[in-house]
Amino acid sequence: MQTKRASLPRNMIENTMFEEEPDVVDLAKDSTAFPALEPDEVVYEPRSSRLLVRGLGENDLDDEEEDYESSARLLGMSFMNRSSTHNSSSSPYNRQAPPRLCSCPSARMLVVGVFILVLVASMAMALYFLPGCTFTKVGVCANSSIPMEPSYPNSTNGELFPWNELRLPASVRPVNYDLSLTPNLTSMTFTGRTVINMTILHDTKRIVLHSSELIITKATFQVGEDKSVEVKVLEYKPWQQIAVSFLEDLKVGQVCVLTLDYAANLSHTYDGFYNSSYNDKTGAKRVLAATQFEPQAARKAFPCFDEPAFKATFLVRITREPGYITLSNMPQAKTTTLPSGLLEDEFEQTAVNMSTYLVAFIVANFTSITRNVSNTLVSVYSVPEKKEHTHYALDTASTLLHFYNTFFHIDYPLRKLDLVAIPDFLAGAMENWGLITFRETSLLVGNQSSPLDKQLIANVVAHELAHQWFGNLVTMRWWNDLWLNEGFATYWQYTSLMTEFPQLDLDNVFLGVRFKAMAKDSLNSSHPVSVSSQVTTPEQVSEMFDSVTYEKGASLLLMLKTTLPDGQFRKGIIKYLDNYRGSNTVTEDLWNSLTQVGQESVSDMMRTWTLQNGFPLVTVSRKGGHVTLTQEPFLLSADNATHTSNLWHIPVTYVNDNCSSAPSCRQIFTLRNKTATLNVSDSVKWLKLNYMNTGFYIVHYGDEGWATLIDALKTDINTLTPHDRASLIHNIFALSRSVCVFVLWHGMLNDHSSWEMDVCLSERLDSFFFMWSMLVSRQELRSVLLEMACSLGRQNCTDQATALYDQWTNSNQTKQIPGDLQQVVFSTAAQADLRWLSLMEAYSSTTYDSEKRKILQALASTQDPRSIVWILSTGLEGGIIQTQELPLVISTVSDGFAGHLLVWDFVKENWDRIIEKFPVGSYPIQSIIKSTTSQFSTQTHLEEVQGFFSSLKERGSQMRSVQESLETIRLNQLWMDRNLPTLRIWL
């Protein structure tokens, strides 16, 4: 193993600067639901008003620089277009006859020439930006009210591509796909045929759809009963689009068929139709092929209209070798033996219309266990040697499927539901309709695993099953409303588990989730839950998958549910599912459904929460019985604040000293304006706002208000619920980080409290190690306390952790370590060289997935620089450590004192290789950026991070996560400047 350790990294070599190609992207017209679709021939505005800003964060350039750059690009592009149009035969590479005379211009002529060029350029820019004018292909200024012929990009063959927007035209609607695929798991290639039946919604001379990395070998087209004819396919690779053009219009109402034959390589990343491998119990390598299409990768497996609003039915056929099985969304209909000896599995046509990102198929050597639940066959698939680890997932899925069927009053619509554990899978899971795919660590768990491990499995299964209704049955129209999928699935995962599995203590986890969402949403670089614009490019779509979409979305649903009268929320949700089953929605459709079953409209209130960044701070001041509530946006940083004037309709819940813990004590007051007054009895001693922390806001009580709450808790800690006590602590810490509010909290701890806590912890460490039979929350508390104690080098902690590790290794891993103690035991062992090496061997041999991941985290927690470099490089290579685990490795290394600088150098040096494996803007990339920069707190590091990402151009410079990291570093700087002198005095 010693030979595997790499040398220390060299200093970074500055990345090469690349010029960004001219941006010719037009912001797409939002195509609404199909009955209301608009024609694709539209009036085009001047490009100056249609420039697409890449990324969802703020631009690195200031306004003047951005305008200058945009103008220069547009002028340069227009001159190039005209040059290529009028002088297509000329080429800079043609040999020209030498001139007969050669003379040098005078200095005066040069000055005059430059002046004329500047004048012409200025006039061109002035004409271009004249209001009401459109700059056309021939360079004239025309009134924008007159439809002008748009400028189109060139296809790969040099012909004009007949479309110039990232979003597809709304003139054609797919009705059914007939897919035939033949993967070759030896050559890692596949061939396919896609037959698309479609209808024409608007007269058009083109059909535009998506295709990426597919080689189209033949294309035929048929209209109605006419004979099929071969057609030419044009491709524009930058937008992953292909098109077929026609001389005459296809007419509204016509039915037509496009058939495309193609070939491709199985993807070597984690999206599209990709290849994977694992070693079985004999050590032999096994290969498989699986799919991951969300958000925009179905186009890598078959040509399609790869947008969520283009729903259709699907019939899938897959050819395989006899040693494999195939799975798809629907049950298998028949198997045919082909003359080649291969087998063709045909699946039933989907019983529902569905979006392309939900299509899935797998070719593998898996085995399963099954159970019939409410006329649905539920199956859990895994590699054969892990079949014994599938039972908990089957039990959980069966229980939750029954819960959702009952709660939503709409039965799961398919006859089968497969849950498949894939050995090499980047996402935690994916909700493909009828064929949910998981990481092995998200689905498989042994009988001896801890309740914490089972809690993770239950969470993921509950989330993906909720998607079968929210996302699959009813789908957001476009990715800007992704929260309608992910916010709902996150909300229902906690709600369902708190109902069906109360022993898992998910109410505490959900509370922590709300705190997590607030941490991100308190940054200027955050975004609204429902984004109204700038979600067009693949990077922008990928960046929607973040904690605002998931956790804030779920938090807002909880706040709404607890605000509405009993039963209205459930009735409204059922109405929403029933109204829009099989179709696509926008956020307003949800509010309308909730309003239809209640007395009051929820739209006015909820728009303030979904269409604005951030959340409010409510400040409380009191004079006798008059309580003044004031709201303002809560921001950790005031730099470049874009929403300081925002107001929310806040459902302020509160309790007081007369009645504070029972749900019946809760009272509610709606704060709609900047300031309002609440009247209470003079006898009320204190108020606690945001009962059970169900509202998405924080509260500042002022010196007097905090003092009375502290006194009440000193008298009786149980005067408030645990959630309310946690809420107060969270508010204090949040306020202490804000640049606007400074809170000094005295009275809770005396001068000797830290010493007393230290002694208490020492006395309890022994008992903590051996308290094995507890509720889940206490196990988690034990784990956290022990990890802290051992990381601080407490001798009795490290001694006992080492003893448990040695017992485990000496027994050949038969003497199990309790699941909630595994992380602290492995991490402690990893700090010693010899035990680090033995852990590496255990990582390679263990078959328990949750245990394997804890070992990997422990290995990455080492403080040895050479071991750190080795594990980072190995994770990037993807051999011993799967590449899917690289974000976890980077995050863990970043938390260590020895590692956080090494890992930043590693990411800089290997950025291009990293984005080959993880798409720009994806959640893994967000995680890598956040974890590697979150500990920086100096101006030098700020400039270094800013300089590095600015140099990336289209390779990641405009990501929102970059803006978030820069903002976090500035906040760290501010905190250090404000608090370091005081900390030095204390220390």
Annotated binding site for Zn(2+): 463, 467, 486
Which residue blocks in 468-602 are alpha helix, DSSP H?
Answer: 483-500, 506-521, 538-542, 547, 553-563, 568-580, 587-596
Q: Which of 294, 346, 348, 464 is catalytic?
A: 464
Tell me the residue type at 662: A
**Residue 884 to residue 904: CA distance in whole angstroms:** 19
Structure tokens at 411: 């039965």
Q: Cα torsion at 913, 917, 919, 922 (round to 10°)?
A: -110
Structure tokens at 739: 């640049």
**Residue 141 to residue 207: CA distance in whole angstroms:** 30
Which contacts of 114-119 are long-range, i.e. CB under 8 A and separated by 24 or more positions?
none
Contact 217, 262 (CB under 8 A): yes
**Residue 162 to residue 923: CA distance in whole angstroms:** 33
Query: Any residues with CB less than 8 A from the CB of 642 and at least 6 apart, and which?
Result: 524, 613
Strand 343-347 versus strand 255-265 pairing type = unpaired
Contact 573, 589 (CB under 8 A): no
Q: Is 348 a catalytic residue?
A: no
SS3 state of residue 689: strand
HSE at residue 209, side-chain half, CA atoms within 13 A, is 28
Centre a 10 Å sphere on the Cβ of residue 406 and count the other Cβ atoms it contains. Answer: 10
CA angle 679, 680, 681 (to 5 degrees): 135
CA end-to-end distance (rounded Å), the chain: 41
Structure tokens at 170: 């709304």
Query: Any residues with CB less than 8 A from the CB of 476 and at least 6 apart, and which?
Result: 308, 482, 483, 484, 485, 584, 585, 586
Q: Cα torsion at 966, 968, 974, 979 (round to 10°)?
A: -150
Structure tokens at 405: 């069927």
What residues form the annotated binding site?
Answer: 463, 467, 486
**Nearest in space to 307 (alpha carbons), one of 117, 166, 424, 192:** 166
SS3 state of residue 402: helix
**Residue 319 to residue 335: CA distance in whole angstroms:** 9
Active-site residue set: 464
